[in-house]
Amino acid sequence: MDTQATPEATELRAVRTTGQGTPGALGAVLPFLVLLAVGVAFPLFGGGYWGVIATRACVYWVLVSGLNLVVGFAGQIAIGWVALLTLGAYATSVLAAGNVMPALPPYLALVCAALVGAVFGLIVGLPALRLRTFYFAITTLGFATIVTQVALAWQSVTGGGIGVPGPVFPEPFASQWGFYYFCLGLAAVCTWMTANIAASRFGRALTAIRDAEVAAEASGIAKPALLAIVFLFSGAVAAVAGGLFAALQSYITPDAFTFDLSVLFFIAILIGGRSSVLGPLLGTILLTVLPEFAAPLVAWSTFLYAALLLVIVLAIPGGIAELLDFRNRRPLESGRAIVPQPRLVARLLDAAPATGALTLDQLGLSFGGVRAIDGLDLEIRPGQVHGLIGPNGSGKTTTLNVISGYYAPQRGAVRLEGAALPPLARHLRAHMRIARTFQTPRIVGSASVLQNVMIGGTIHGHGTFVESLLSLPRHWRDEAMLRETAMLALAAVGLERLAPVRADRLQHAELRFIEIARALMLRPAFLLLDEPAAGLSAEEIVRLSTLLLAIARAGVGVLLVEHHPDLIFDICHHVTVLNLGRKLAAGTPAEIRSHREVVNAYLGG
């Protein structure tokens, strides 16, 4: 069903689904407030023993909140994070006790431990950039073992097997309940900080790296820098947890830091669910408290955690967060139509068009002995749609991949307004206002449609990680700007009604349009599309044509790699035909259609 939407109506709808003070926002904060209230009131009904358990849960959560960003959001399988707890515990204790240098006040020791933790978090985490998943997991395990063994061996500092006393915090935090409130306070602060990151462009960028890495690159997200910050933060926070742990235990030895603890942290996040803060929080509380209900359970606790993990992985990979996601259980309307709105496209793409063309200049690339691209000249002019067609293996997608930086040309160059593009800098293309879509839609399935589109505009945010962490004004301005732009982009492609829906519930065609909306967030000068019509019905192809023509009319240079004759002959201003890496013919669609050789090549003669 076609609905005509005026810009005003769209904006009204946009405001209703976003913004603070709406029921949606309160619903998100409420569970945390309830937990905080329970925590604050806890000493009233909990005894001494349960006080220790509750304090322990708070301390564990301080670590897990940081690790959540690494494991839950960034998807890095860091199993050996107990190493940082160990480091933090020993650093704090040793500095406070004065084994190495004059004793520091406990708060200062804690801060120093955080610095140590940050550095080591980076050291443990950085191999993730280079190693495959399983390899990285194993290295973190190895690291955890090493740290414990060093603690055992370095007797002069750590007391070896005998251990060291933990730090003692001054009043009012020296008593059991005083210390409990201290830990509860820190846990609350960590919850707040990590929730801020989760709802920021950094959190979304992390999930993009995890689930749709190529799309993240194409959106300009630099994986190394982002992961480095996250490892620094996570390491620091884990070390602080270590200091608190040492104070709670009042005396630490190396065998307090068992592999079991690492398992607990890791599993708490996975049981809780990825891309969630509430889920892992509940998971941590659950796993800390569960074994305490029956004495035999304590011995079997790790076995239970592992069994729980197995069940979650096999049955509910989304964890507790998925169970609590009521909103996404509501059925979607069937018979949904995607209705692009050209007027909004023009409003969105109001940035100045490029002054020059994107050209391929005698481009050449071979794989082994095969010439994938052989001396290709091509010009994508702003405001025009340039079609690139050819049989399978002709080099169409390879050409697109060279332009977007996946392969370096061996001969010739890709030039933007005359200057050659740096060959393999995939993530810099976004900064040059070159956007692209992919043959198979690369989407973060567990995120909402709106969040997916907002990922496209990540590099347009100005606030730093710390500003988001502390919820400072620039973070809010960024969020408002990204949200508004994303809603406009969704309205432009015709999907604004689906903004809050989890992306993996959508149909294939809708995912394709979401990719385009995401690309448009960059307000690109050039848009590269890789077979966008594949899997679309005739009706949807017509809508796609409308959209692409509107985009071109707004001044964008569009490169369209396609098979579908409909799309090519209807909307392209120019068509280049490739065969075996070489340009077979080039011209207007009418010229190409009647070109004998082209017909043969295309049909495979």
Which residue, 85 or 247, is less far from other proteins as judged by CB? 85
Contact in structure between 387 and 600 (CB atoms under 8 Å): no
Residue 83 CB, nearest approach to other proteins (Å): 12
Tell me the window of 43-51, 380-388, 409-417, 535-543 that interacts with other proteins (CB under 8 A). Answer: 535-543
Nearer to other proteins, 359 or 576 (CB): 576
Strand 419-420 versus strand 411-416 pairing type: antiparallel
Residue 138 or 324 having the CB closest to other proteins? 138
- The CB density around residue 168, as the number of other CB atoms within 10 Å, is 14
127 binds other proteins (CB under 8 A): yes
Cα separation of 325 and 320, whole Å?
9
Contact 488, 463 (CB under 8 A): no
Question: How many CB atoms sit inside 10 A of residue 549's CB?
Answer: 18
Strand spans (E) along 343-408: 358-367, 370-380, 385-389
Report the alpha-carbon angle 582-529-501, nearest 5. Answer: 155
Q: How far is the CB of 312 from other proteins (least distance, A)?
A: 8
Residue 12 or 146 with smaller CB distance to other proteins: 146
For other proteins, which stretch binds (CB under 8 A), given 131-139, 342-350, 404-412, 420-428? 131-139
What residues between 403 and 422 interact with other proteins by CB under 8 A? none
Q: Are 462 and 478 in contact (CB under 8 A)?
A: yes
Instruction: Verify binding: residue 508, other proteins, rule CB under 8 A.
Output: yes
Least distance between other proteins and beta carbon 509 (Å): 8
Nearer to other proteins, 362 or 439 (CB): 439
Q: Is 588 left (phi over 0), alpha (psi -120 to 50) or beta?
A: beta
Choose one: 1-9, 17-25, 33-41, 527-535; the region binding other proteins (CB under 8 A): 527-535
81 binds other proteins (CB under 8 A): no
Q: Which is nearer to other proteins, 138 or 351 (CB)?
A: 138
Helix axes 473-493, 538-553, angle to 10 degrees: 120
> What track of x and - describes contact with other proteins for positions 257 through 276 (by CB under 8 A)?
--x---x------x------
Q: How far is CA 12 from CA 18, 130, 484, 487, in A?
A: 10, 46, 11, 11
Site for other proteins in 191-250 (CB under 8 A): none
Collapsing DSSP to helix, strand or coil, 7 comes out as helix
Query: With CB under 8 A, what is the number of residues at the site for other proteins?
Result: 63
The yes or no reply on residue 537 touching other proteins (CB under 8 A) is yes
**Please, which residue, 20 or 439, has the CB nearer to other proteins?**
439
**Contacts to other proteins from residues 433-472, by CB under 8 A:** 440, 445
Judge residue 115's burial from the number of C-beta atoms within 10 Å of its C-beta, 0-12 exposed, 13-18 middle, 19 or more buried: middle
Nearer to other proteins, 31 or 393 (CB): 393
The stretch near other proteins (CB under 8 A) out of 162-170, 377-385, 486-494, 596-604 is: 596-604
CA distance 172 to 511: 55
Tokens for 6, please give them: 């005026």
- Return the DSSP state at 167: P
Q: Does the protein bind other proteins through residue 305 (CB under 8 A)?
A: yes
Q: Which of 17, 253, 302, 546 binds other proteins (CB under 8 A)?
A: 302
Is residue 315 classed as helix, strand or coil in its secondary structure? helix
CB 539 to other proteins: min, Å: 6
Residue 595 CB coordination number (10 Å): 18
Cα–Cα separations (whole angstroms), residue 207 to 3, 161, 515: 33, 41, 16
Is residue 584 involved in binding other proteins (CB under 8 A)? no
Among 25, 33, 100, 146, binds other proteins (CB under 8 A): 146
12 binds other proteins per the rule CB under 8 A: no
Element (H, E) at 110: helix 106-125
Shortest distance in whole angstroms from residue 426 CB to other proteins: 18
H helix count then E strand count, the chain:
26, 12
Among 79, 380, 402, 495, indicate the residue that binds other proteins (CB under 8 A): 79
List the one residue out of 593, 591, 573, 567 whose CA is nearest residue 379: 573
Q: Is 101 in the site for other proteins (CB under 8 A)?
A: no
Q: Please select the residue that binds other proteins; options are 255, 377, 417, 539, rule is CB under 8 A.
A: 539
Euclidean distance between CA atoms 510 and 490, whole angstroms = 11
Other C-beta atoms closer than 10 Å to the C-beta of 291 total 19
What residues from 13 to 72 belong to the interface with other proteins (CB under 8 A)? none
Contact flag: residue 149 with other proteins (CB under 8 A): yes
Q: What's the sign of the alpha-carbon dihedral 473, 479, 482, 485?
A: negative
- Minimum separation from the CB atom of position 541 to other proteins (A): 7
Binder among 326, 331, 392, 473 for other proteins (CB under 8 A): 392
User: Quick one: which of 29, 298, 300, 323 contacts other proteins (CB under 8 A)?
Assistant: 300
Residue 295 binding other proteins, by CB under 8 A: no
> DSSP class of residue 169?
P
Q: Is 369 in the site for other proteins (CB under 8 A)?
A: no
Cα(203)–Cα(201) distance, integer angstroms: 6
Token readout for 286 is 């659950």
List interacting residues with other proteins (CB under 8 A): 75, 77, 79, 127, 130-135, 137-139, 141-143, 145-146, 149-150, 152-153, 259, 263, 270, 299-300, 302-303, 305-307, 309-310, 313-314, 317, 391-393, 440, 445, 507-508, 511, 531, 534-535, 537-541, 563-566, 593, 599, 602-605
